[in-house]
């Protein structure tokens, strides 16, 4: 066990991602090494020698960690892309219900600030959906599971997160603009629901982007 434990400790030094994911990887790795060592006992009576053979069969710790890290990136990218795809329709539905069910807009003609804000929202939606769908398409299937990390996966996920954060920021600024200039034009109890969801989503996806970038930097350093 000492030989196997030293090996898994070396692999753990190279792993990236959440602590829970890294712990699961180490447990899976240790279980696989123990099975390999037990198989080696069929033609080797020395337990320590069987463990050394198992370690050699698995390969250098950095290479093993790199394979697991690529899988971690792919799993994280798929999860975040799917969340981005689901978040946009939910936000659109809640904002549409709050604004259409409340008083009419206060402007006879759309002012430039509103047009700019709506343009950012539209562009962010297109960028987020396109990036998320691209990341999901490249990050699933047998070929994706067998291959090393595809740059399209990470690029698509990053585009999805940046586009979504742009949408969330534009929505907050548009709400502030209308609320400060024409507070009577909003049904505040109804607007409170999508506004709260927008702020929570911004905090969640902002943190998710930061963590995803940290994982990418960790894999690129190997």
Give the domain range for residue 143: 77-220
This prediction has a pTM of 0.81
Long-range CB contacts for residues 62-68, cutoff 8 Å, separation at least 24: 62/14, 62/222, 64/11, 64/29, 65/11, 65/12, 65/13, 65/14, 65/15, 65/222, 66/14, 66/219, 66/222, 68/11, 68/15, 68/25, 68/29
CATH code, domain with 157: 1.20.120
Q: Is the same domain home to 199 and 99?
A: yes
Q: Is the same domain home to 12 and 106?
A: no
**pLDDT digits 0-9 by tens, 207-221:** 999 999 988 888 876
pLDDT exceeds 50 at position 35: yes
pLDDT exceeds 80 at position 158: yes
In a domain, 35, yes or no: yes
**pLDDT digits 0-9 by tens, 166-199:** 999 999 999 998 898 888 888 999 999 999 999 9
pLDDT exceeds 60 at position 142: no
The tally of domains found in the chain comes to: 2
In a domain, 177, yes or no: yes
Q: Is the same domain home to 128 and 198?
A: yes
């Amino acid at each position: 066990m000492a030989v196997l434990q030293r090996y898994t400790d070396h692999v753990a030094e190279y792993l990236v991602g959440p602590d829970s994911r890294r712990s699961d990887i180490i447990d899976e790795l240790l279980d696989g090494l123990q099975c390999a060592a037990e198989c080696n006992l069929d033609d080797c009576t020395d337990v320590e020698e069987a463990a050394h053979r198992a370690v050699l069969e698995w390969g250098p710790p950095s290479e093993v960690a790199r394979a697991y890290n690529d899988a971690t990136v792919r799993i994280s990218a798929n999860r975040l892309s799917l969340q981005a795809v689901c978040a946009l329709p939910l936000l659109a539905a809640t904002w549409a219900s709050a604004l259409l069910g409340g008083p009419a807009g206060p402007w006879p003609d759309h002012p430039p600030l509103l047009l700019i804000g709506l343009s950012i929202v539209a562009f962010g939606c297109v960028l987020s959906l396109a990036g998320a769908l691209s990341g999901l398409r490249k990050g699933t299937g047998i070929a994706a599971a067998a291959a090393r990390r595809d740059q399209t996966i990470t690029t698509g996920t990053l585009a999805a997160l940046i586009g979504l954060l742009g949408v969330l920021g534009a929505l907050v600024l548009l709400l502030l603009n209308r609320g400060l200039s024409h507070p009577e034009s909003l049904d505040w109890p109804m607007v409170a629901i999508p506004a709260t969801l927008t702020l929570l989503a911004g905090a969640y996806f902002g943190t998710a982007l930061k963590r995803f970038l940290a994982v990418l930097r960790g894999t690129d350093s190997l």
